[in-house]
Structure formats: C-alpha cells, structure tokens
Amino acid sequence: MNPSPAIRKVFQGIANRSQMFRMFDRHLQRPDRWDGDATPLHAGEWFEIGEAEHDYMFEILPPLWIRGSMFAMREFLTGSVTSVFLALRIDEKIRYFHGYCDLSDKASAETMRVAIIERESRPVRAMTREERLEHIWSSTADQYRGYADDSAAKAARGKRTIAFFGGQAGSTVRLLEDLADHEIAAKLPVHLRHLPAQAAA
C-alpha cells in the first residue's frame, strides 16, 4: 500500500471536478481494500481544486464543522479520516484545496493548513521526487496502474506499479518507487518535466 504519515501534495495544478472525484480515493484498486486500517494511506494527502469545486462540496451536505476558512465533510472516508476543504490566501490570492485529515488528532486540520501554505509559498516552483511520483500515480488511468500481486517478489507484493510501453517490446510493469529519473520525466506532462528538484522537507 505504501502508506505515508507525512502531509503530502499528490497532484500538481488545479484539479477539475472529475479529477477531484477520482482522487478522493486514489487507492481504490489496492488488494487489501477491506482489510486493516487505511488511515495512514489517506491521512495527509492534499491537492488544489477550483473555487467552483470547493463551493460545490460545501453545498452537498451540512459540514461536520466550519473553522474560519476551513470546513470538514460529515461523511468519513475511513476510520476518523475525512475531507477538509480550505480556502487560503497565498501571495495575495485566494486558492482552494482538499486534504484528508485524521480528526482523531485535533490539530490535524490546522497542521494541514500550515503545511499547504508553506509548500505553496515557495518562491520557485519545484517538485520533490515524491511529488513527481504521486502526480504520476494520481494522473494515470486505472488500467495502467495497479499493485504487485503474488507473482512478484515477496518484498514487492502490494506495492504500487505503473505500466510502461516499449514499442515492439510491448508493455512492462514497474514498481512506482523504483522509477529512474528519466522514466519519471517520461511519465510527467511536458510542463512539469523540467521543474527544479526540491529537497523533501
């Protein structure tokens, strides 16, 4: 499953409505979907959305709570993890975000807010290796991404995979985490390929 407890950006750019709904469960295909606690898999994920998407989600159901420029969805994704939507002023512009917060931690929404502002206030646009991999995962169609099954080496089972097309050689499946820099670049949209690298926080 490749769980990560860190707050992490999982999509570059502003997600439209269909992308937003698709990313609400980026891990839909995981083999152990109904087993265990999925909190570490989802908690901390965030991405940017448009104003219309933010307002649409506000009107679906009465929020669980509203705190300043943030509101939480009443329906939980898993355990104590739910969607928190944020309207944040960054560089004198209001921008809109969705994040998954584990509300068993009362500070999680505020921690998310601070992390997003810090990430999006960087003077130079840049991406970490992890952000590049997460964007690839988020933007790849379901039929071209998956999880290593029992035919893979034991250490790889359950890890995320991506299909590569090699012309006459046909397609191959690679572990997402093992992609080399040139393979990552090949999977990214052109406008993201040459952004400077940002060291992970």
- Which of 98, 120, 142 is the C-terminal boundary of a domain? 120
DSSP character at residue 2: -
On whether both 116 and 135 belong to a single domain, the answer is: no
Total structural domains in the chain? 2
Provide the whole-model pTM: 0.84
In tens, the pLDDT along 141-154 reads: 888 888 888 777 78
pLDDT band at 34 (very low <50, low <70, confident <90, very high): low
pLDDT, tens digit (0-9, with 9 covering 90-100), for 106-147: 999 999 999 999 999 876 677 888 988 998 889 888 888 888
139 and 116 assigned to the same domain: no
- DSSP state, residue 104: T
Q: Which residue has the higher pLDDT, 168 or 183?
A: 183
| Per-residue pLDDT at 169 | 64
Confidence check: pLDDT of 92 > 90? no
| Amino acid letter, 82 | T
Residues 188 and 106 in one domain: no
Q: Please give the average per-residue pLDDT across 72-93, as a whole number.
A: 92
Is 171 a domain residue?
Answer: yes
Assess whether pLDDT exceeds 50 at residue 72.
yes
In a domain, 145, yes or no: yes
So what's the pLDDT on residue 197? Answer: 66
Domain carrying residue 37: 8-120
Calculate the CA 161 to chain-centre distance: 16
Does pLDDT of 3 surpass 50?
Answer: no
Q: Which long-range contacts (CB under 8 A, 24 or more apart) does 182-187 make?
A: 184/129, 184/132, 184/133, 184/136, 187/136, 187/140, 187/162
Choice between 169 and 88, residue whose per-residue pLDDT is larger: 88
